[in-house]
Structure 1
Amino acid sequence: MLPPDDADAFDWLAFEQAGVLTTAQFSGLLSEGAVRGRIRSGRWRSICHGIVLTGNGRLTRDQQLWVAVLAAGPGAVLAGATAAAEAGVRGLRREPLHVLVPADRRAGRASLRRLPIDMPAVLVHRTSVLPDAHVQLARPPRTTTARALVDAAGWAGGVDEAQGLLAAGCQQRRVLPEELDAVLDVLPRAPRRRLIRQAVADIAGGAEALSEIDFVRLCRRHRLPPPDLQRHRVDAAGRNRWLDAYWHERRVQVEIDGAHHMDARQWAADMRRQNDVWTSGDRILRFPAWLVRARPDEVADTVRRALIAAGWIPTDAARRSPERADDAYGLRATPL
């Protein structure tokens, strides 16, 4: 609730920061004795050195975020998956909390090591590049969605997780691929920069999920013609459909089944759609997402045979093995 009309500066500050303040912020607003008295009486809580909660309950999510930023010290902002989640990107890990601080400033490490049990762990990252354009005006302050996702991808535990974060942000329309590219332009030393740049390029080409990114790379690796991604079409019943991958000239379609296809109703709906496609004269191939990732050679061979049967004539390089094709194109693959 908003403070009353006669609220003083202390009430407004406590409101803006969800009741979490530093002892330095109390200066000029309340005496040191008054603060200690309220903590001793149990009305307020001492969260850690220099951080006070103007209440005595368990920390809410907003209060946890403020504790993380204030305990990390001046210039700290929420970052990575934490900032992206606050910007509305769904499906991200809520813990630990990620905070970014300028490289020339010390974080409050002693305070962060002595947090209460109702406070998640806080990971502090340092950066020498944090322009004003990368900081979102919010409470608490955080990096922009684009910077948050680029950082989160760099800090992720693995390549799949990194690509999944980027795909989630774009698929949920929280960020544009162009915005991610703009962030990379000013972060020449960003972790996994090449991987992120390639993933953004694939997303800009239409891939909206990790499985689609894997499939695009599979086609590129095996010298298959690039498909149209998320292509719109209207089925025989007049319903709008979005195709995962489609070669329009050859009328070959690929559907990549995720975990949701284990649901019986979803399976039945997809089977009806598949039958509509078959009866229209298109060829349709279906692969589970795990197969695209675990057995790419098998998937590529199936797609190649379907395209050849539909009239595609592979080039000399495409007929060779993937390794020799890379040499022929001057594109020897290297790990991302």
Structure 2
Amino acid sequence: MLGPVVRAGLPRARVEVATIRGAQWARTDREAALVVCLAVQQRLVHPARLLAAWAEVRGGRRHRVLDAVIRDVCDGAHSLGELDLSRMCRRAGLPAPDRQVVRRAPGGRLYLDAVWDDVGLVVEVDGAHHLLALAPVDDALRANEVVIGGERVLRLPVLALRLDPARCLDQVARARAALLARAAA
């Protein structure tokens, strides 16, 4: 059995343990990744507690997949699209971006999905919620603040990552290369 049971009130597993169990019991690897993403994204579990609980797990269903997912999520990836981008960059030999990087702007703090500070490149992975109501306005104004601060922003709709991952990765790689060349000149 994974982890102790909380006995105060109804007996139950701690949130980090329940997250891991839910991911192990999911029907598919993507559903397992979603369980982990949502638990951290919604702040139900702190990444450090999830990592500590995961360190106690030996083997089990999807161990290899969950090891990569949990490490990525605890390192800052908060959506399946961000996980996909990280995996694609690793496979292509690109350096891993910093994730959920905080920038200050006149309106407050901005959280950026993927940042390569060495070249000033920001990649935002836009899920479906970025198309709802006023989200496009907020996204545009946020991207403008980042550009005003001196960085370049690429926006990748999550649908593009699913339908044409090679083209998305090519754009990230070319942007990095162009910014590296510009910095060297």
TM-score, structure 1 as length reference: 0.50
Letter in 2 for 1:155: W
Which residue number in structure 1 is paired with residue 168 of structure 2?
Answer: 299
Q: Write out per-residue CA displacement over residues 21-60 of structure 1, whole angstroms, 9 at most, x where no aligned residue.
A: xxxxxxxxxxxxxxxxxxxxxxxxxxxxxxxxxxxxxxxx
Residue 249 of structure 1 aligns to a residue in which SS?
coil
Q: Write out per-residue CA displacement over residues 183-222 of structure 1, whole angstroms, 9 at most, x where no aligned residue.
A: 3444323211111111111122211222211111111111
Q: Write out per-residue CA displacement over residues 234-293 of structure 1, whole angstroms, 9 at most, x where no aligned residue.
A: 22x352111111111211111111111122411112112222333443211001112223
Instruction: Tell me: higher relative CO, structure 1 or 2? Use CA pairs within 8 A at least 6 residues apart.
Output: 2
Aligned: 1:239 with 2:115:
no
Letter in 2 for 1:217: R
Aligned: 1:210 with 2:96:
no
Structure-2 separation of matches of 1:186 and 1:275: 44
Structure-1 separation of matches of 2:61 and 2:45: 20
> What is the CA-CA distance between 1:177 and the residue it aligns to?
3.3
Structure-2 separation of matches of 1:182 and 1:276: 36
Structure 1 residues 144 and 238, CA gap change in structure 2 (3 angstroms): closer
Q: Check the 8 A contact 2:51/2:74 in 1, yes or no.
A: no
1:277-288 aligned within 5 A: 277-288=146-157
Structure-2 separation of matches of 1:186 and 1:199: 16
Which residue number in structure 2 is paired with residue 270 of structure 1?
Answer: 139
Letter in 2 for 1:156: A
1:121-132 aligned within 5 A: 129-130=1-2
**Structure 1 range deviating more: 150-159 or 181-190:** 181-190
Residue 250 of structure 1 aligns to a residue in which SS?
coil
Structure-1 separation of matches of 2:19 and 2:94: 30
> What is the CA-CA distance between 1:146 and the residue it aligns to?
1.5
Aligned: 1:173 with 2:8:
no
Q: Number of aligned pairs?
A: 182
Residue 134 of structure 2 aligns to a residue in which SS?
helix
Q: Check the 8 A contact 2:89/2:95 in 1, yes or no.
A: yes
Q: Which has the larger radius of gyration?
A: 1
Q: Structure 1 residue runs of 4+, over 4 Å off?
A: none
Structure-1 separation of matches of 2:95 and 2:181: 9
Structure-1 separation of matches of 2:8 and 2:165: 44
User: Where does structure 2 lack aligned partners over 5 or more consecutive residues?
Assistant: none
> What is the CA-CA distance between 1:312 and the residue it aligns to?
5.7
Residue 154 of structure 2 aligns to a residue in which SS?
strand
1:1-336 aligned within 5 A: 129-130=1-2, 133-235=3-105, 237-311=106-180
Q: Check the 8 A contact 1:184/1:190 in 2, yes or no.
A: no
Structure 1 residues 248 and 143, CA gap change in structure 2 (3 angstroms): same
Structure 1 residues 257 and 137, CA gap change in structure 2 (3 angstroms): same
Residue 232 of structure 1 aligns to a residue in which SS?
strand
Structure-2 separation of matches of 1:294 and 1:192: 25
Structure-2 separation of matches of 1:184 and 1:232: 26
Structure-2 separation of matches of 1:212 and 1:278: 21
Q: CA RMSD in A?
A: 2.0
> What is the CA-CA distance between 1:301 and the residue it aligns to?
0.5
TM-score, structure 2 as length reference: 0.88
Letter in 2 for 1:240: R
> What is the CA-CA distance between 1:171 and the residue it aligns to?
1.9
> What is the CA-CA distance between 1:142 and the residue it aligns to?
1.3
Structure 1 residues 312 and 228, CA gap change in structure 2 (3 angstroms): farther
User: Where does structure 1 lack aligned partners over 5 or more consecutive residues?
Assistant: 1-128, 314-336
